Amino acid sequence: MGGGVWRDLGRISYDEALELQRDTAQAKRDGVLEDDVLFLLEHPAVITHGRSSADVHVTASAEALREAGVVNHEIERGGDVTYHGPGQLVGYPVLDLGRYRRDLHWYLRSLEEVMIRTLGSLGLDAARAEGLTGVWVGEGIASATGDGVVPSLEATGLVRAGAIRKIASIGIHASRWITTHGFALNHTAESLAGFRWIVPCGIDGVDVTSIESEGCEVRLDLLKQRVVDEFESVFGVRLQKSQHPTP
């Protein structure tokens, strides 16, 4: 089992977190930093636009966003538009995939698996939906196959009916197989407010939910530890908690 560290950054601006990710990734590419790093944090309200995002998926006016204090960012990760804010646990793994598997599809599915196992440890059934990125909960999860995937022929109808609800989003980037960006898991109902300003991940009619909204209460510190535990299990790595704010 390999080694690395995880760092609890508390609540930190998107700009600060992005700079920290990029500096950490560059240190790994330069051979200065050996450890893989998992950053766990919350953001103030921010809307981010991935490489495949469309402006029409931001439904609020620029004036309304300014008045609400929401920042917009266009970034290099994959995916469409998404929202981050208080009550949402964000994870940014900076990993050398050369240590694991040089396969971005595998990496994305592995991050989904971390979220699925974390939610399962809290008593919430979760699954992937074929053709849709992220992790889903709801009554329609009974449609999931033995591989824990809701078939694509059913997923769209279940989304529109509200029978599956999105609880975690994934958006990744890699340069020379060093990863940045990552996942966002909706923890409390507070995390849902900002999704009214966008079409989440560009999916019309999607319902977004949180752990709390699904009837489960867990302290943030315990949720972070669950995520770390499942990350270690999925990736076969041992992460030590670091008290240092930077690598």
What is the pLDDT at residue 59? 66
Q: Is residue 35 part of a domain?
A: yes
Range of weakest confidence among 23-37, 151-165, 176-190 = 151-165
What is the pLDDT at residue 99? 94
Mean pLDDT over 92-103 rounds to 97
The answer on pLDDT for 214 being more than 90 is yes
**What is the pTM assigned to this prediction?**
0.90
Mean pLDDT over 11-22 rounds to 94
Which H or E run includes 26?
helix 14-29
Compute the distance between CA of residue 184 and CA of residue 166 in angstroms, rounded to an integer: 11
DSSP code string of 115-184: HHHHHHHTT--EEEETTEEEEEESGGGGG--TTSEE-HHHHHHHHHHTSSEEEEEEEEEEETTEEEEEEE
Q: What CATH number is associated with residue 85?
A: 3.30.930.10
Mean pLDDT over 163-188 rounds to 95
3-state secondary structure labels for all residues of 197-244 = HECHHHCCCCCECCCCCCCCCCCHHHHHHHHHHHHHHHHCEEEEEECC
How confident is the model over 17-68, as pLDDT tens digits? 999 999 999 999 999 999 999 999 999 998 887 655 555 567 666 777 777 7
240 band by pLDDT with thresholds 50, 70 and 90: very high
Number of domains in the chain: 1
Q: Is residue 198 part of a domain?
A: yes
DSSP reduced 3-state for 32: coil
Residues designated as active site: 201
What is the pLDDT at residue 69? 74
When the pLDDT of each residue in the chain is averaged and rounded to a whole number, the result is 88
Compute the distance between CA of residue 180 and CA of residue 173 in angstroms, rounded to an integer: 5
Q: Is residue 181 part of a domain?
A: yes
The answer on pLDDT for 77 being more than 60 is no
Q: Is residue 247 part of a domain?
A: no
For residue 93, the enclosing domain spans 2-242
